[in-house]
Structure 1
Amino acid sequence: MPLALIISSHVAASRVGGGAQALTFAAFKVDTMVVPTVLYGRHPGWGPPGGAAVPADAIEGMLDGIEANGLFAQTDLLITGYFAHPDQVRAAARAIDAVRAAARPDSARRPFILVDPILGDHGAGLYVAPEVAEAVAADLTPRGDLVACNVWELERLTGAEARTPAQAVDAARHLGRPCLVSSVQRGAEIGVVYADRREAWLAAHPRSPTAPKGTGDLLTALYGAAVLDGLSPSYALARAVGGVAETIAAAHMWKTAELPVVAMAQRLKATSPHVRMERLA
């Protein structure tokens, strides 16, 4: 059974962050280890979230316990997400290095590091303190096998515009890491761009006027699950974006304010007829 280590937020009443990603991975029979960076009652978008940040030394201790059980050597996928303090970021960076350095059989797959630099968005600006954003850019982004960001975050990381599909490809290549760029708009469509040095793809679907919180977390988990399934970047992109689009549609149909991740478990692997794939490079 594949094993994923998630270092991100735990939000009790909202389907966001590491908790939502763990539920998503369960649908793909991927076991998870979740190390929370914050313990919140609800998403801050609803108002004061309750709870608090997890001290960095507690995060270090949890990671030490996981490593002591030999599980770094069994980790197939490591996802980083939301951080509340730069010391937490540095703890995650050390964990990435330790997972990569852990001795494993020659036949074992190489661990895949998926960095979601949760920094902010258009209209809201930074979600995190500037020193956290700086630590993520300096310590995590260069360590990622894939960086999964929204347009605003990519623009902040690179200083380049990324609002159109072509701009997103250029900015991703300027970052120098394979990228998954969400919230790319073209006309009445919204989509996700995948770009590396060799190829680039757009997965687009009709734009919805609203969406529950957590779509970026869901996209990251779905793409990570596709990587573990051995899918190529284009197929991984199509399946992941399809899962997000169908989950948003289900949330609207069921009139729920949170992503219905558990209810959608059997449909997350299916491609969506509403997603249009386009090769960009």
Structure 2
Amino acid sequence: MRALILSSFVAGDPIGGNAQQLALAALGWEAALVPTVVFGRSPAKGGRGRATGPDHFAAMLEDLEAEGWLGCDLVVTGHFSLPEQVEAAAEALRRRPPRVTVVDPILGDAPKGLYVKPEVATAVEALLPPLASWITPNAWELSHLTGLAVADTASACHAARQLEPPALVTSVPLGEGEIGLLCCDENAATLIAHPRLPQAPNGTGDLVAAVFGAELAEGRPPAEAAAAAARAVLARLMPTGGALRIEALP
């Protein structure tokens, strides 16, 4: 199985596209990464990145197409630094669509809000969801994309059903001590809750998008794929233990 990742590369921290490459390799996948920006360490720690120029980014996509990577089993999109990168990615996906496309619309998070350039957010919102099999926003991004408040499971499910592709929503606010994933399409919704840590590391959304996409491409039903993604996150955050609570919703 082959996956193409369009996202950031952070050399010294397990986040972004390189973390997704490692996660997919552990599942037995072959994964190629086209970096949108290159960092030495996480920007959350002060890392200073350099964006991949639009011509270079497009050329890498052309090279990978020549090697048969476009139209592969899975494409996962994540962070973009320039609107031209989004345009090139969308054009490539339209030209050679993969079996499964997972769009992680990396735009921002609470409490900071939008942390990509507004023109990048506009391009992502306009061009990528129509090409997605599934979209994986966090709760803040879901609210940003729909214009609806997301404060709990019910409001998250209502907002997710306003999106054109079905959604796996991360970081859904739950009760005391829990946080969840919400797998939601027009027919069914499943909540996968797990213990909340006082300080979760960056990059868990990257892991969710990659594992969820791989499980979908391997034929798992969406709720099962979401549970597998949650288990992967739990194994990283709580290697000594932690249980999932899975609940079917109306």
Structure 2 CA distance for aligned equivalents of residues 161 and 126 of structure 1: 16
Worse overlay, 145-154 or 230-239: 230-239
Other-structure match for 1:8? 7
- Residue 44 of structure 2 is matched in structure 1 by 45
Aligned residue identity for 2:7: S
Q: Distance in 2 between matches of 1:82 and 1:161?
A: 24
Partner of 1:148: 136
Deviation at 1:229, TM superposition (A): 2.4
In structure 2, the partner of 1:23 is 22
Q: Are 2:240 and 1:277 aligned?
A: no
Report the AA paired with residue 275 of structure 1.
L
Contact between 2:12 and 2:41, CA under 8 Å: does it hold in 1? Answer: yes
- Which residue of 70, 87, 91 corresponds with 1:94? 91
Question: How much has 1:38 moved relative to structure 2?
Answer: 0.2
Residue of structure 2 equivalent to 1:135: 123
- How many residue pairs end up in the alignment? 249
1:47-73 deviation line (CA, Å, top 9, x unaligned)? 1x1340000110100000111223324
Going from structure 1 to structure 2, the CA distance change for 1:235 and 1:132 (only over 3 Å counts) comes to same
The match for 1:114 is: 102
Q: Which amino acid aligns with 2:64?
A: I
Aligned alpha-carbon RMSD (Å): 1.3
Alignment correspondent of 1:107? none
Alpha-carbon contact 2:9-2:36 (below 8 Å) kept: yes
> What do residues 160-206 of structure 1 show as CA deviations (whole Å, max 9, x unaligned)?
11221111111111112100101112112100001011111100012
Q: Distance in 1 between matches of 2:74 and 2:95?
A: 13
| TM-score, length of structure 1 as denominator length | 0.86
- The DSSP-based 3-state class of the residue aligned with 2:44 is helix
How high is the sequence identity, in percent, across the aligned residues? Answer: 45
Give the distance between the partners of 1:90 and 1:115, measured in 2 at CA: 14
Report the equivalent of 1:77. Answer: 74
CA distance in 2, matches of 1:203, 1:196: 15
Deviation of residue 90 (structure 1)?
A: 0.4
In 1, Cα distance between equivalents of 2:189 and 2:95: 31
Unaligned 5+ segments in structure 1 are 101-109, 254-271
CA distance in 2, matches of 1:71, 1:182: 28
Task: Give 2:87's aligned amino acid.
Answer: R
Aligned match for 1:68, one of 66, 71, 81: 66
Does the 8 Å contact 1:10/1:19 carry over to 2?
yes
Counterpart position of 2:187: 198
How far apart in 1 are the matches of 2:203 and 2:148?
25
Using the size of structure 2 for normalisation, the TM-score is: 0.96
For residue 274 of structure 1, give the secondary structure of its aligned residue in structure 2.
coil
Return the letter of the residue paired with 2:235: E
Equivalent position to 1:186, from 160, 174, 177: 174
Gaps of 5+ in 2: none
Aligned-partner residue type, residue 183 of structure 1: S
Aligned-residue offset at 1:111: 1.2
- Residue 261 of structure 1 corresponds to none
3-state SS in 2 of match to 1:10:
strand
1:243 maps to amino acid: A
Query: Which of structure 1's runs of 4+ aligned residues deviate more than 6 A?
Result: none
